[in-house]
Structure 1
């Protein structure tokens, strides 16, 4: 009878039944977020600046998603996985420092979570020559260019 909660509740009376019911309810509430479902992974936490309807995110140029740029010499796509890395064309001999990012045509930003193409844009085209936001509609990752107004 010690392992049976109903037997324990019966031994404690109606107050015990309420206590056991309350403990079950509390345990269910505590465990509910840990259960997996069919939806997306809700445990990735995005930074405060990107808390919109997205699940995960980053802010700041150092955390910019991988970019594909058009080579100024041969026109092929150059993948720049990190905003601080040199821009090296895999087809020809062009190697540019990361500061030359704005001189090249941005072809795409790639989601660092699911590797799909991201929608991106600029909010202040007269002020910044780089993308200021990017959103992945596949996994709900969002990136924001952090700047001060």
Structure 2
């Protein structure tokens, strides 16, 4: 009888792990999200404002290498060539992608008003539903 109970217990543990796997975050044990990403249509976490912009990867205009800028105020220095750019030059560089600060996936991003702003105005992670929004005024 104990052999049969052992097999049953092992199967229950296996099923429990399979149910919990989609809810578990990959950055450590016992860190669960409250709902399944696959069934969600709204965002869960988020930030507003340029100072909270997710990490960005831009293209170096000199050698076309990827340059990672972790924070908005960090200088943009190419790891491959001598290209050095101020954080104020961000709009002049080609944005390749934004990185989700929660799950580290590439984020979808875009502009709502490209005639007024040369920077991304929103970004959403399709993996964990984190959303960043540029906070701005519509006043002229």
- Answer yes or no: same fold by TM over 0.5: yes
Greater RCO structure (CA 8 Å; 6+ sep): 2
Please list the CA deviations of residues 17-59 of structure 1 after superposition, one character each: whole Å capped at 9, or x if unmatched: xxxxxxxxxxxxxxxxxxxx6646149xxxxxxxx81110001
1:126 to 107, 110, 115: 115
Corresponding position: 1:93 with 2:85: no
Corresponding position: 1:41 with 2:33: yes
Q: Which runs of 4+ in 1 moved over 3 A?
A: 37-40
Question: Structure 2: how far apart are the matches of 1:99 and 1:80?
Answer: 12
**5 Å matches for 1:19-58?**
39=23, 41-42=33-34, 53-58=42-47
Larger Rg: 1
RMSD (CA atoms): 1.7
Which residue pairs with 2:65 in the alignment?
76
Question: Structure 1: how far apart are the matches of 2:62 and 2:34?
Answer: 44
Please list the CA deviations of residues 91-146 of structure 1 after superposition, one character each: whole Å capped at 9, or x if unmatched: 01111110000110000001011100000000001000000000001001000000
- 5+ residue gaps, structure 1, are 1-36, 44-51
How many residues align? The count is 105
